[in-house]
Chains A and B, each alone.
Chain A
Amino acid sequence: MECQECHQRPATVHLTKVINGDKTEIHVCEQCAKEKGYGETSFSLNDLLSGLFNFDHATSISSGTAPTSTQPAKQVQCPKCGLTYQEFARIGKFGCAECYKTFDEKLNPIFRRVHSGNTQHNGKIPKRAGDNLHLRKEIEQKKHELHQLIDREEFEEAAKVRDQIRKLEKQLDDEQGGDV
């Protein structure tokens, strides 16, 4: 069983909490348990969420290395809606679409914990999304399919998919040529 916080290390700390008859089970690794203070006090989902954000904040300050450009973490503020990172961490909500860009560098760890290790969208794309995004996604998908077919040694099918990819890539080239 993997740790439900970092999704990287195996879970070695197992907690069962019963609050007013509601049972919750927690499976985390020792490191995350220590950082979260599990086993010390009761906590709510809200605490847990804002705890996630703060934890991220704390490490980015305490680790002196900080290779990113956002060194003074507390200054980050969204230019569109004015929300600061602290406020975001406190309320656990974004203020506008621009916030996602503003806080981008801090978001991966948060998303990873909330969405079981995922940080990238893999679903529907709005019809209006320009920039041949649909085409690029389709090529990506076909390439994935191609690898699977090769792994299964279904070469005849694979050749067909390869040709489809070529065709799509040519289409993409033409479109980009037209754009520039």
Chain B
Amino acid sequence: MSLQNFMNEAISPWMKEEGPDSDIVLSSRIRLARNFAQVTFPIIAKEEELKPILDFFNQEYAHQSFKDYRNLELVEMSRLKSIEKRVLVEKHLISPHLAEHSDHSAALISENEQISVMINEEDHLRIQLYYPGFQLEKALQRASELDDWLEEKINYAFDEKRGYLTACPTNVGTGMRASVMMHLPALAMTQQVNRMIPAINQLGLVVRGIYGEGSEALGNIFQISNQITLGKSEEDIVEDLQSVVRQLVDQERKARETLMQRSGIQLEDRVFRSYGVLKNSRIIESKEAAKCLSDVRLGIDLGFIKNVSQNILNELMILTQPGFLQQYAQETLTPDQRDVRRASLIRERLQLEKK
């Protein structure tokens, strides 16, 4: 296993497995922020403080195995080209922050890309674990085990009163951010999402676009996560998030049903128009591609389109991001060139499905 694998495949191996409610919940993620007790946090630490942490990981964790996750790969940021870092960001394996702060930073990634531990991000450690579909409890349990495994060799910054100490006051306590990626086309089409977001915010949860803070809800994909990390247990936080997600899943299903009953033919028309655009266009911007991909995915879920895999949305959303397109083309591309590349890539990919 090498960096090449992380780069070449748009879709992470773990994403290919089907999870519960995966027609609406694309993935579940748990992130834990942890710090070394004795070392200054990365934002103000000097180089000579951060290097030992990276060295420590190289020595103790690189090529080690945690449970079924064998031969963990330590990918050092300083050794990557900027396009390569961008690809890892687009695959959600690292954060934009890590890509920007590359000195002595790294990510410990499992072969199936389900696990990624970022080293020397805003905190010394950001443990991330993904599961396909709606499986937050499982993700929490596994992330906690991974946390225990790492802790065997690390003295974490922890305080009885404040919990796990983090660089940002918004992460202190559990240091946990639980999140799900949801595809909510019917709620978006019927304008219900905009009304729901303030209500969800009131519950201490945050709704964002696919690439995190400040990003747009490209392709009707929304990320929902907890805001509060202090005062509640990990289990309670996950339970609260779960109950909201469950309601959203129900609402989305209902909205899809209603749309089918009231305007089935219009919906079918929309789906096939988008399918037509993706199959035939020669130039396509990422925004239009995302919209069409969302429609096609909905069409697959509703049974309008057969013999195209459900994963097409996740895969092409990532594959058609600027970093990936350029990695694929093996050269730097202007935005115009990218739009051409994107269109041809999507056409090729859909052609592949036809067989």
Instruction: For B218, list chain A residues within 8 Å (CB).
Output: none
CB pair B151 A118 closer than 8 Å: no
Top 4 nearest A-B pairs (CB, nearest first) are A118-B231, A121-B163, A97-B157, A115-B230
Which of B122, B152, B174 contacts A123 (CB under 8 A)?
A: B174
Closest chain-A Cβ to B332's Cβ sits at a distance in Å of 29
Instruction: For B303, list chain A residues within 8 Å (CB).
Output: none
- The tally of residues in B whose CB lies under 8 Å from a CB in A reads 48
Instruction: For A160, list chain B residues within 8 Å (CB).
Output: none
A152 interface residue, CB < 8 Å from B?
no
Interface string of B15-45 (1 = CB under 8 A from A): 0000000000000000000010111110110
CB pair A128 B156 closer than 8 Å: yes
Which of A23, A93, A126 contacts B156 (CB under 8 A)?
A: A126
Instruction: For A110, list chain B residues within 8 Å (CB).
Output: 169
Interface residues of B (CB under 8 A from A): 35, 37-41, 43-44, 122, 144, 147-148, 151-152, 155-170, 172-174, 176, 194, 197-198, 201-202, 204, 228-234, 237
- The tally of residues in A whose CB lies under 8 Å from a CB in B reads 36
Which of B43, B170, B176 contacts A114 (CB under 8 A)?
A: B170
Supply 5 A–B pairs (Cβ within 8 Å), ascending by A: A49-B170, A111-B230, A115-B229, A118-B230, A121-B159
Closest chain-A Cβ to B223's Cβ sits at a distance in Å of 15
CB pair B151 A126 closer than 8 Å: yes
CB pair B41 A23 closer than 8 Å: no
Interface string of A104-127 (1 = CB under 8 A from B): 000100110011111111111111
A66 interface residue, CB < 8 Å from B?
no
Interface residues of A (CB under 8 A from B): 1, 23, 25, 49, 80-81, 83, 91-97, 100-101, 107, 110-111, 114-129, 133
Instruction: For B194, list chain A residues within 8 Å (CB).
Output: 23
CB pair B162 A121 closer than 8 Å: yes
Which of B202, B229, B231, B237 contacts A120 (CB under 8 A)?
A: B231
CB pair B157 A123 closer than 8 Å: no
With A110-B169, A121-B173 as contacts: A116 and B231 at CB distance below 8 Å: yes
